[in-house]
Amino acid sequence: NGSELDEITNYVNANDVDPSEDMQGMIEGKNVVYISMESMHRFVINKKVNGEEVTPFLNDLIQDSLYFSNFYSQVGQGKTSDSEFLVENSLYPLPRGSAFVTHADNQFRAVPEIVGEHGYHSAVFHANDATFWNRNIVYDSLGYDEFFDIESYDVNENNQVGWGLKDVDFVEQTVPYLKEMQQPFYTKLITLTNHFPFELDPQDQLIDPLETSSETVNNYFPTVRYTDKAIETFIQKMKDADLYENTVFILYGDHYGIPEFNYNGLEDLRGEEITPFDHVKLQRVPLIIHIPGYTDNRTIDNVTGQIDLKPTLLNMMGIANDDLSFGHDIFSDENQPLTILRDGSFITDEVLYTKGVCYDAESGEEIEASHCEPYSKKVEQELSYSDKIIYGDLLRFKDE
Ligand code: GP9
Ligand code: MN
């Protein structure tokens, strides 16, 4: 009921940090384009296989962007849908299932709704069936104005592979819609080709598959390379359409790509065993904030997560974040690094905790449990508060 929400509000307020003044309003009035990069691990960035870069375009883009090298995917079983849920709401996904599927009709206070009150037009582009992950229902609850699903794309036998429309064709067909769109817009493109089991046509294989003991790992690198090309194509088309200069691009990986049962291939690649510590680090995905014309670009190694994007973006847009966000502005000086994963694992700048063991976050060495204990209660509390909001649909009591 409403009093539960009061308790949670008090907790969130007590843990609040003042957002960065430097970044406040930095991108006010500009278009925003999120690119959700399917199954994009962070380890592909600046990596070479057989002497070739896996993500040459992203590696270049990073030089001209704010790049976060310790940014975690925090998804649960809801995979892509959980990443969207985290980014739009700054709430944790559920311990089981996908909140998109089980709580689609909840009252939310998501970014599309908030920016809509500031004159933004919002849309999602994703060339899959609108009902997948219940998106057709949830996007309304989140306040999206439009959803360009598979019906908006020309998909034929020559331009699809694996799960559907190839990423290059997807971005090429998306830009004309953006060109027509009312500005400023807040939009999200969700890529698809780099999805398990990583199928690709021979002519799209820009690098060779690897030769490890895992077919999945072997095929993963060429599909990542292909998505990198699709993103390059997208940025070029945005320039051609005169949309680039006035748009901010935020690229992030939705979640890991290599499942645990294929770690044998990664172990071959690294020549060492993948430990529970490594497993947590494998949940890192790239976060790239590219602001054309921005001059203070750099790599930021603070521990951050998908839950932080909503408060971070709203502050950059100069819009007050007046609601219940569990994340924090990643540019704030006051930020106390603590990133919580859905399974209760957590990472700070000093420790990493998973499966009952406390590690040194840098070296991976096991350390005294007492180093992790100060955070344990907070982690449990925070996940449980977020769950309460979703299970109880508590945001409907807000401002009553
Ligand atoms: C489906 C796409 C993939 O539309 O978002 O979903 P996933 O299987 O990664 O959750
Ligand atoms: Mn996904």
Angstrom distances, CA of residue 398 to CA of 4, 260, 271, 393: 11, 40, 53, 10
Q: What share of the chain is helix, strand, coil (3-state, %, to 5)?
A: 40, 15, 45
Angstrom distances, CA of residue 59 to CA of 44, 88, 253: 10, 26, 14
Atom of ligand 1 nearest to the CA of 192: 2
Which residue has its alpha carbon closest to ligand 1 atom 7? 80
Which residue has its alpha carbon closest to ligand 1 atom 5? 80
User: Can you tell me the distance from the alpha carbon of 130 to that of 69, in angstroms, rounded to the nearest whole number?
Assistant: 32
Q: To the nearest whole percent, how much of the chain has pLDDT over 90? A: 97
pLDDT tens sequence across 6-52: 999 999 999 999 999 999 999 999 999 999 999 999 999 999 999 99
Check: pTM over 0.95? Answer yes or no: yes
Looking at residue 241, its pLDDT comes to 98
ipTM of the complex: 0.99
pLDDT tens sequence across 244-301: 999 999 999 999 999 999 999 999 999 999 999 999 999 999 999 999 999 999 999 9
Whether 319 and 300 have beta carbons less than 8 Å apart is answered as no
Looking at residue 322, its pLDDT comes to 75
Which of the residues 9, 55, 80, 187 is marked catalytic?
A: 80
pLDDT tens sequence across 184-219: 999 999 999 999 999 999 999 999 999 999 999 999
What's the start-to-end Cα distance of the chain, in Å? 11
How far is the centre of ligand 2, averaged over its atoms, from the C-alpha of 15 (Å)? 30
Listed as own residue / partner, the contacts of 388-392 with beta carbons closer than 8 Å and 24 or more positions apart are 388/4, 388/8, 389/5, 389/8, 389/91, 389/324, 390/91, 390/94, 390/99, 390/103, 390/106, 391/103, 392/1, 392/4
User: Can you tell me the distance from the alpha carbon of 332 to that of 353, in angstroms, rounded to the nearest whole number?
Assistant: 24
Question: How many Cα neighbours within 13 Å face the side chain of 108?
Answer: 28
Looking at residue 260, its pLDDT comes to 98
Whether 292 and 325 have beta carbons less than 8 Å apart is answered as no
Bridge partners of residue 298, in order along the sequence: 66
Can 227 be counted among the known catalytic residues?
no
Whether 85 and 317 have beta carbons less than 8 Å apart is answered as no
How far is the centre of ligand 2, averaged over its atoms, from the C-alpha of 269 (Å)? 23
Bridge partners of residue 71, in order along the sequence: 304
pLDDT tens sequence across 131-170: 999 999 999 999 999 999 999 999 999 999 999 999 999 9
- Note the ligand closest to the C-alpha atom of 101: 1
Looking at residue 400, its pLDDT comes to 55
How far is the centre of ligand 1, averaged over its atoms, from the C-alpha of 59 (Å)? 25
Bridge partners of residue 37, in order along the sequence: 253
Pocket lining for ligand 1, CB < 6 angstroms: 79-80, 128, 132, 190, 192, 195
Atom of ligand 1 nearest to the CA of 126: 4
Looking at residue 398, its pLDDT comes to 87
